[in-house]
Amino acid sequence: MKKAFITGISGQDGSYLAELLLDKGYDVHGMIRRSSSFNRERIDPIFASHPNKKNLTLHYGDLADGSSLNRLLRTLKPEEIYHLGAQSHVRVSFDIPEYTGDITGLGTIRILDAILETGINTRFYQASSSEMYGKVLEVPQKETTPFYPRSPYGAAKVYGYWITVNYREAYGMHASNGILFNHESPRRGESFVTRKITRTLARIMAGKSNELSMGNIDAKRDWGYAKDYVEAMWLMLQAPEGDDYVVATNETHSVREFLDIAFGLVGRDWNDYLKVDPKYFRPTEVDLLIGDSSKAQKKLGWKPKTSFKELVTLMVREDLKLEGLDPDRLMKL
């Protein structure tokens, strides 16, 4: 039985990846941080109902705490490490830039160095991001496109990317960067734009809200489905050598288009609810992202399975259910 270690297991991607690895028969160990509020709602359902739930174990640790990382790696000796933990919110990174640099940037070197210090034989996945392309220097963005980050988060991810490349080259580690473009799901954090839209829409339908406060709705993103994207992470660690891959749908859509589809599905017009609030604008914005994932398609055999329209539909559906509403009655498909 292969053993995997996941940082950020309580996040959107961590929960889907844990399920995927349990499905494949892995012994899965995840790191969670201590919090005074509940932070396991994405993983508790796995403990409740996954057929291989006995193969999932959680451990306390923190990306700010190198000693906990060292201890966990020394004792667990995982064959695969998926490093997904991060302060992952771009807008928030402008408010807490130093913390973002520490957790999102230095967190990566703490793990890589723990691998080196403990001498374990493992494969490493770094959750790199399309935010590194920022003010894009090429359209579409691919592995060779230069980075131009536009936020403390993007800059921290550029550090994580290059230190992963450096440890691969300096110490011969099997270490890979997945440069993932935006990916969403019903498990997406509620302050990211897609989930904020579908969650608020469901609350509007339930009569609990009549307003949607947003920032720049002209921004364009390459949005895929998180469940499809965790498969690419796994495939990278099965490849004979570590490498860097763009993971994207090769399509771009504006926030406006997301609003059109989501509200259109339940016969509402978002213009009736939208309030533009300056607090959601960023000091520097990433206007356009669109990825070229042909390398991942060719070398890993990975391709996205879920279209943009299907993604919006499944998110609206799940959020309506969360409000106790019947999607089959409310949605026009």
Which residues are known catalytic residues? 129, 131, 153
Encode the chain in three state secondary structure.
Answer: CCEEEEECCCCHHHHHHHHHHHHCCCEEEEEECCCCCCCCCCCHHHHHHCCCHHHEEEEECCCCCHHHHHHHHHHHCCCEEEECCCCCCHHHHCCCHHHHHHHHHHHHHHHHHHHHHHCCCCEEEEEEEHHHCCCCCCCCECCCCCCCCCCHHHHHHHHHHHHHHHHHHHHCCEEEEEEECCEECCCCCCCCHHHHHHHHHHHHHCCCCCCEEECCCCCEECCEEHHHHHHHHHHHHHCCCCCEEEECCCCCEEHHHHHHHHHHHCCCCHHHCEEECHHHCCCCCCCECCECCHHHHHHCCCCCCCCHHHHHHHHHHHHHHHCCCCHHHHCCC
Which range of residues in 81-89, 114-122, 205-213, 325-333 is near ligand NAP by CB under 6 A? 81-89
> Quick one: which of 130, 200, 249, 306 contacts ligand G4F (CB under 6 A)?
130
Closer residue to ligand G4F in complex, CB, 91/203: 91
Q: Does 239 bind ligand G4F (CB under 6 A)?
A: no
Amino acid at 305: K
Contact 6, 86 (CB under 8 A): no
Could you tell me the sign of the dihedral formed by the alpha carbons of 3, 239, 8, 157, in that order? Answer: positive
**Residues 138, 94, 181, 12: what is their CA dihedral angle, to the nearest 10 degrees?**
180
Q: Does 10 bind ligand NAP (CB under 6 A)?
A: yes
Instruction: Count the residues of the shown chain that bind ligand G4F, applying the rule CB under 6 A.
Output: 24
> Quick one: which of 7, 15, 126, 129 contacts ligand G4F (CB under 6 A)?
129
> Quick one: which of 202, 214, 235, 290 contacts ligand G4F (CB under 6 A)?
214
List the x/- string, 77-96, binding to ligand G4F by CB under 6 A.
-----------x-xx-----
Closer residue to ligand G4F in complex, CB, 55/216: 216
Q: Does 11 bind ligand NAP (CB under 6 A)?
A: yes
List the x/- string, 272-301, binding to ligand G4F by CB under 6 A.
--------x-x--xx--x------------
How near is the Cβ of 211 to ligand G4F at its closest, in Å?
A: 12
Edge-first strand order for the sheet with 3-7 is 56-60, 27-32, 3-7, 80-83, 123-129, 174-180, 244-247
Residue 16 touches which member of ligand G4F, ligand NAP, none, C-beta under 5-8 Å by kind: none
Residue 63 touches which member of ligand NAP, ligand G4F, none, C-beta under 5-8 Å by kind: ligand NAP
> Quick one: which of 193, 237, 259, 311 contacts ligand G4F (CB under 6 A)?
193
Site for ligand NAP in 30-49 (CB under 6 A): 33, 35, 39
> Quick one: which of 103, 201, 255, 320 contacts ligand G4F (CB under 6 A)?
255
> Quick one: which of 21, 103, 202, 232 contacts ligand NAP (CB under 6 A)?
103
In this structure, what token pair is assigned to residue 89? Answer: 């919110």
> Quick one: which of 3, 4, 5, 12 contacts ligand NAP (CB under 6 A)?
12
Site for ligand NAP in 127-156 (CB under 6 A): 127, 129
Beta bridge partners of 209: none
Binding residues for ligand G4F, rule: CB under 6 A, are 88, 90-91, 129-131, 181-182, 191-193, 196, 214-217, 219, 221, 255, 280, 282, 285-286, 289
Binding residues for ligand NAP, rule: CB under 6 A, are 7-8, 10-14, 33, 35, 39, 62-64, 84-88, 103, 127, 129, 180, 182-183, 189
